[in-house]
Copies of this chain bind each other. A is one copy, B any other.
Amino acid sequence: GFALVDHHRALRKGFPEVIFCQGKTAGQVAQIFKKLCCGRRSILGTRATREVFEAVREIYPDAVYHELARTIVVYRGEPPAKKGKILVMSAGTADMPVAEEAAVTAEVMGNEVKKAYDVGVAGIHRLLDKLDLIRWADVIIVVAGMEGALASVVGGLADQPVIAVPTSVGYGASFNGLSALLCMLNSCASGVGVVNIDNGFGAAALANAITQMIARANT
């Protein structure tokens, strides 16, 4: 076999099994899904094309495909009690696939998720309309490409931890997300952590690590 599947780490983390589908053939992904089929935990596939999904569906007919998020989920076990409240915000329409990847991941990991999309800073009133949502959240994920300024503004408005996801949306001097990445790393607001460009999954995993600590405190 060509992948040592790491059951124990996954269990320990309260995680679903996660498969990064990009760069693997539909057949390879399907095979990995098959190996994981112990039935007790959900399985999440990220960066999956519809073609990959079709191959997975052959094995798990109840697999669900989130088109925009490019994710596959095979739900298993009891739906977990909600650990925390995660708000996913995005600056523009084109950032939605990354935002949705974060949202789906956060949900599958057992969190209540709300969304505020298309609230980029060039029309600041759109953001100010969402103050209630901001107050609601335990953790906020901010997804933005181009100049990535949304993270700073949200970081200034919110006391909660903010996880910034730069996206490769843009052209020219956005340099495939470098612009947004640098902008977010230099945020003058405090309480902002950054993950890799387009890494919606990673943002949700970090948000979930936080809500898990909160849930632990709650009990």
Q: Count chain A residues whose beta carbon lies closer than 8 angstroms to a beta carbon of B.
A: 90
List of B residues within 8 angstroms of A18 by Cβ: 190
Instruction: Give A133-172 interface residues, CB cut-off 8 Å to B.
Output: 138-139, 146-149, 152-153, 155-157, 159-163, 166, 168-172
Taken together as a complex, chains A and B put the C-alpha atoms of A183 and B183 apart, in Å, by 6
Contact: A187 with B117, CB < 8 Å?
no
Q: Is A64 in the interface zone, CB < 8 Å from B?
A: no
Chain B contacts for A108, CB-based, 8 A: none
Chain A, residues 69-95, CB within 8 Å of chain B (1/0): the string is 000000000000000000000011110
Centre residue among A124, A149, A169 by max chain B CB count within 10 A: A149
Determine whether A177 belongs to the interface, using a CB cutoff of 8 Å to chain B. Answer: yes
Q: A91-B188, A210-B213 are in contact. Are A153 and B156 (CB under 8 A)?
A: no
A to B CB contacts below 8 Å, 29 in the list: A22-B171, A24-B93, A92-B188, A120-B188, A121-B188, A122-B188, A124-B153, A146-B188, A147-B182, A160-B213, A162-B209, A168-B172, A170-B186, A172-B181, A172-B185, A172-B198, A173-B178, A173-B186, A173-B196, A174-B186, A182-B182, A185-B195, A185-B196, A191-B206, A192-B202, A193-B193, A193-B194, A210-B213, A218-B218
